Chain A
Amino acid sequence: MARIAFVLPVRGGSGGAHSVVQEVTALRALGVEARVLVNRANAPQFAAAYDRFAWVAEGGMGVFDGPKDLALLAAEAEVVIGTTNTSVHSISEALLTMRNSAIRTGYYVQDYEPLFYAAGTSEHQLAVASFALLPNCVYFAKTSWLTGIVQAAHGLDAVRVVPSIDHGLYGPAPRSPGRRVVVAMVRPATPRRAPRRTLKLMARLAAGEFGDVEVVGFGADAEEMEQAGLVTPEGVRMLGRLRQQDVAALMRAADVFLDLSDYQAFGRTAAEAMACGCVALAPRLGGAPDFIADGVSGFLVDTTDADAVAAALRSILSLSESELRAMRYAGLEAVAGFTPVRAAMSEMRALGLA
């Protein structure tokens, strides 16, 4: 069977890393010899973060230190896949050290990373250059927004693959009637996740502007909030950084999840919230329209328009119990197909291996 190596030079823990690890697990279950290649500096944390996957300790994780090391590991694979812009640069440098390499390359575009940096900066150029490095590369991404951006900005065909979420962790549960619970994630260190906008709306919610609701936040501990100069609004219950299973439990108990990011290339947390039976409000700009039909399986909004956000929130909170239930079901159905096996199959097809 095919040998696929995902170059993942991260510590692990992020949504993107989770999905790659899940998909590698699924690929291996399908008989594909899939591995992740992690740089030496991040390897110990990565191994610890994913020690529940047996393959991590059984040769499924390769460790490299520099381009020559990576080239040796890459030479054992048929396809080497970059998962971040820096990993694409690492692959390119590794290929330069190899003679007559017949290795194929892929770029799993998990976000359009040039948007992470101001234009003109060294980091921005590095991210843009990642789309000009790999010869005969297969580009794939999990939303039509991402594939569209890669095509529109770089004239490169990109294949849309199926996203995956961990349905073993994120699943629905019966909800007790009563006061509605609105949950939002606050990420002080990531401005595009709009922590200030989110806190502002949470403050309005907690003050009762949208009715009697319970408002819960997560994603930042008190120290992070203080460092960023942010204050938890009165009446908001801030739970700090949560483990995945605690996020899932919170979503199962909540009615509404708010993602007011400037844009979302995919919208993983919204999809996971929907898998738990939460109704999600997500940015229209980005990948969420792939799985949220506005007003049917969730809500889409121009998050930079405060009035539009407020109007959408009023719509959600004015839904009757039966309307809310119908929307929950539609949301559950919309993300039910986001399984690691389907994701793995779609990646194999994108790479011409299935």
Chain B
Amino acid sequence: MNVIDPVAANQGDITGRVRLEQSEDGARLTGWALGEADVPGEPPEIAIQVPGLGLRTLAAWPLAPDAEALPDGACGFTWHLPSSVRDGVPRELRVWNLATGLELAGSPIAVGRGAAVQANEAEAPLARWDAPLTGHVSAGDPVELAPGLFVAAEPPARSLRYELVVGDPMTADTAPERGIRILADAPSGRIALHFPLAPLMPTIEDTPALLQLRAWLPQATQRAMQAQAELWLMVFRFGGFEKLRRLRRVRVFRRPSLITAQITLSEEDFAAGALWLGVEALNARGLAAMPPRIVAPAGSSAAGMEDQRLHSAFDALAELVRVHGEAAMPTHALLPAMPPAAGQSPCVAAGDAHPFTQVILPVYNGDDIVRGCLRALRAAGTGPFQVLIVDDGSRGFTAEMLRREVAGDPRFILHRRDTNRGYTKSINEAVALTQAPWVVVLNSDTVVPHGWLDRLHAAARARPGTGMVGPLSNAATWQSIPEVKRPDGSWSVNDMIEPEHLDAVQRLLDEVSTREYPEFPVLNGFCTLIARTVLDRIGAYDEEAFPMGYGEETDLCLRARRAGFRLTLADDAFVYHHKSLSFGAAGRSPLTRAGGLEMTNKHLGVNIAALERTMQSCPALVRVRARMLDRLKEIS
């Protein structure tokens, strides 16, 4: 898609222009802007003021010379509206060129219902939801959960748990849309959801129409999970449902997929009574779906690929290629020419200073180790930072210790929940409370050295397009130094390194690191610097698939790489990580342990073993480890 609006270029004092675009993956602001006149070629920063969410900044990128209708030196930018801005609440966004200090032409931009948010035309039944958001009903005959929604399941299932779903649970990247998720207490021969077709009638009465809905399985219990599913045209009469005809047989997966069926209604159909669509999963434990809608058939095009399906199919292929190769690849010899992937650069500060960074520190009990983490954070800061401690329902003495430790230091903010919600939810809650252009998600069993944030940001600066950065550690799987694994194949925690050795290890790393800042396919989640633009673009951690953790950080990494953000290793930064000796059972990787089934199902086609091989053979890290071991031998 062309991000540039040539209209109004070269007009008066305009130093940039912005507009709102709707795309398949949501809404976004795109435009162009000129840099400072006395620094030719330097892309300007763009600031976006979002009421209620603060200021977002992003760097524009130089445009190809063929953007003819634009002034010389014009740079492009794109900002995907995060789901928090696509909640239907009317807002006015203002966009500024920070190089010139001028507001862009086209700003302010109104977003809200009817603008950025596209209502699902068939949402009416679920919009009038008057049942609890979650609950249980008996399996058996169809039960009306809410006006316009029935569920049913054949034995041996006896009980169904239902839950209202908002948005696409696997991508966190679509406009708000409501669906329903049902999970039975046992596998059912047929588990069904019935949606009325009445809201779609005006568009399907006369001609064959394409009916489309999104359906998925609510739980991963095996690799490449799938079930047979059927779409039925049904009629509701005499107080019950009757099947008129089967429209389609398809497969449903853990990840939502679009199911399309052509529907042509006859006079007899209309005379039969109120028409409904039945979605049934066979021999499945559950089913989830969004209401059906009418879509236009995939067409052919005179320009570009004639098969219109190839655009999205090649995009999906490019995502997989980014995950297994270079995330920010501009082109690939095996693929057709593609637009820039992420299309937006995270904010980086000029010179050595790092931009304001908020550190999210989830805490659940623990005393001395957490205290050590807090004290190290206080002593290690060299630039603008703030620590948001998320106390996820710790016991009294931990809560009291936290209050004592942070009292009087405005850089530390304590956010406490009285009940434990689980790791993923508490981090997401904290992410929503932050506004800085960069956040760090840091485990509370870590100890950071002086200047740690400078080093992480230096890695982001060194490799343009970086969206996430991770440091090295004594115990961080493939980021561990000097040893990765023990002789028995389990993950090493390098227990010769103690917290009090931290400064010495960092000095040693300063000496042996060549600062190559290699790109990594996945980062260990113990300490990760994340650009706001990444969270805005791909959403936060996935609470639905990984409520208790165990895979949520890998999932975020893969989603970031799919979107074209680089993951960079700060190979000159060391963060100490306490780990119990039970960490890393022999022969198993955290990537393939608990949560692995959700992960592999969510990222079908991604070869985790291949990503592990890439991390294992990373030449820059192999060199750092070898040099470090050599130096340690010299010292000893």
Contact = CB atoms under 8 A, between A and B. Distances in A.
A124 B334 contact: no
B253 A262 contact: no
Given A154-B320, A192-B310, A149 B334 contact: yes
Contact of A156 (B224, B259, B610): B610
A119 B223 contact: no
Interface in A300-346: 304
B316 A114 contact: yes
B317 A155 contact: no
A285 B604 CA distance: 25
Given A156-B607, A192-B310, A262-B310, A129 B224 contact: yes
A132 B606 CA distance: 8
Contacts, number: 132
A146 to B, nearest CB: 9
A119 B298 CA distance: 12
Contact of B258 (A121, A126, A153, A197): A121
A156 B606 CA distance: 10
B224 A119 contact: no
Contact of B223 (A117, A125, A132, A192): A132
A154 B600 CA distance: 12
Nearest to A113: B313
Contacts of B252: 122
Contact of A153 (B223, B298, B317): B317
B314 interface: yes
A114 B310 CA distance: 9
Interface string B289-328: 0000000001010111111111011111100110011000
B492 to A, nearest CB: 25
B433 interface: no
B306 A121 contact: no
A133 B307 contact: no
B218 to A, nearest CB: 16
Nearest to B609: A155
Contacts of A155: 324, 606-607, 609-611, 613
Interface string B186-197: 000000000000
B605 A132 contact: yes
Contact of A152 (B253, B304, B321, B604): B321
Interface of B is mostly: mixed
A21 B605 CA distance: 29
B522 to A, nearest CB: 12
Contacts of B259: 121-122
B588 interface: no
B317 A149 contact: yes
A132 B313 contact: no
Contacts of B334: 145, 148-149, 152
Contacts of B312: 118-120
Contacts of A115: 310, 313-314, 317
Contact of B607 (A121, A154, A192, A197): A154
A190 B309 CA distance: 11
Contacts of A194: 306-307
A196 interface: yes
B324 A152 contact: yes
Nearest to A93: B226
Contact of A129 (B325, B604, B611, B613): B604
B158 interface: no
A109 to B, nearest CB: 13
A275 to B, nearest CB: 26
A121 B604 CA distance: 13
Given A152-B332, A285-B336, A118 B324 contact: no
Q: Chain A: interface residue count, which band?
A: 35 or more
Given A148-B334, A154-B320, A304-B336, A129 B226 contact: yes
B609 A129 contact: no
A121 B298 CA distance: 12
A133 B224 contact: yes
B257 interface: yes
Interface in A251-291: 262-263, 285
Interface in A155-182: 155-156
Nearest to B305: A262
Interface string A98-133: 000000000000001011111111111110110111
Nearest to A156: B607
A191 interface: yes
A145 B226 CA distance: 29
A262 B600 CA distance: 31
Contacts of A120: 256-258, 312, 316
Contacts of A149: 317, 334
A152 to B, nearest CB: 5
Interface string A190-210: 111011110000000000000
A156 B324 CA distance: 10
Contacts of B310: 115, 192, 262-263
A119 B316 contact: yes
B605 A196 contact: no
Contact of B316 (A124, A129, A192): A124
Contacts of B515: none
Contacts of A132: 223-224, 600, 604-605, 607
A191 B306 contact: yes
Contacts of B314: 115
B371 interface: no
Contacts of B324: 152-155
A304 B305 contact: yes
B532 interface: no
Contact of B309 (A126, A131, A191, A304): A191
Contacts of A118: 258, 298, 308-309, 312-313
Nearest to B255: A125
A192 B251 contact: no
A92 to B, nearest CB: 8
Contacts of B300: 191, 196
B506 interface: no
Contacts of A131: 605
A123 B248 CA distance: 12
B250 interface: yes
Contacts of A112: 317
A128 B605 contact: yes
B554 interface: no
A115 B315 CA distance: 10
A125 B257 contact: yes
Nearest to B260: A121
Nearest to A285: B336
A22 B600 CA distance: 37
A124 B251 contact: no
A153 B314 CA distance: 11
Nearest to B600: A132
B363 to A, nearest CB: 37
A285 B313 CA distance: 15
A190 B607 CA distance: 31
Nearest to A131: B605
Contact of A126 (B226, B256, B316): B226
A328 to B, nearest CB: 29
A178 B387 CA distance: 83
Interface in B227-285: 250-253, 255-260
Contacts of A145: 334
A92 B315 CA distance: 27
Contacts of B320: 128, 152-154
19 contacts: A92-B224, A112-B317, A114-B605, A116-B313, A120-B256, A122-B252, A122-B257, A124-B257, A125-B604, A129-B604, A155-B609, A190-B307, A191-B307, A192-B309, A194-B306, A195-B306, A196-B306, A263-B310, A285-B336
Given A121-B259, A122-B251, A196-B300, 11 more contacts: A92-B224, A116-B313, A118-B312, A125-B255, A132-B224, A148-B333, A149-B317, A153-B605, A154-B320, A191-B300, A191-B306
Q: Which 9 A-B pairs have the closest CB atoms?
A: A155-B610, A155-B607, A191-B307, A119-B316, A119-B312, A192-B307, A153-B320, A118-B309, A194-B306
